[in-house]
Homo-oligomer: A and B are copies of this chain.
Amino acid sequence: MRTLVDIIEQHIRSMIDRSADGSISIQRAELAEQFRCVPSQISYVIDTRFTPERGYIVESRRGGGGYIRIVRVTGGGRGAQLLRVLAEEVGEYIDQRRAENIIERLRDEGFIDERQAALMRGAVRRESIPVELPLRDALRARILYNMLTALAAVEQQMRRAQRGRKA
């Protein structure tokens, strides 16, 4: 069964896709009415699905004429560089949700394919690291970091090989 969150998420994504500049402005109450739910449900969707890790920036203003603005930021096509930036972002601890967000973003931007995403998700699952918090989040951070840097290294290597072949 698809949930309301999923449906609303998809709706927002398609609005962003259709937009010229990868950003949209919405009115929380209005969208809520469209989907016949409470306004805070919209907040929930945004909090869980349009996070910085996934590559979105959200701005909003209250009061009369208020709005919520969702901006999609992309890595600009420089794969290895983005990978290093994300690796930094991982930090010392990371929970499963945030790790999956980062993987989702890489997938979304086309830096990794579905298979690589699956591998990474498998590695950061709770079941892969059956130890107590906060050790679990610390290990997940190390694992994700090492996967990202390993990928960045291969990325660069392939790029070099590619150049060599062309030249």
Partner of A142, one of B116, B127, B149: B127
| A114 interface contact, C-beta 8 A | yes
B118 engages A129 (CB within 8 Å):
no
CA distance in complex: A158, B120 (Å): 17
A119 engages B150 (CB within 8 Å):
yes
Interface string of A122-158 (1 = CB under 8 A from B): 1101011111000100010011011111110111001
| A14 interface contact, C-beta 8 A | no
A142: nearest chain-B partner, CB-CB: B128
Q: How large is the interface on A (under 10, 10 to 19, 20 to 34, 35 or more residues)?
A: 35 or more
- Copies of the polypeptide in the assembly: 2
| A67 interface contact, C-beta 8 A | yes
Give the residue among A1, A2, A135, A153 with the most B Cβ atoms within 10 A.
A1
Contacts A64-B3, A114-B158, A115-B116 hold; do A151 and B129 have CB atoms under 8 A apart? no
A122 engages B148 (CB within 8 Å):
yes
B129 engages A139 (CB within 8 Å):
yes
> What 4 A-B pairs have minimum CB-CB distances, sorted nearest first?
A122-B150, A3-B65, A122-B146, A122-B147
Given contacts A118-B154, A128-B147, 18 further A-B contacts (CB under 8 A): A1-B65, A3-B65, A115-B155, A116-B116, A116-B119, A118-B150, A118-B151, A118-B153, A119-B147, A119-B151, A121-B150, A122-B143, A122-B151, A123-B123, A123-B147, A128-B142, A128-B143, A129-B139
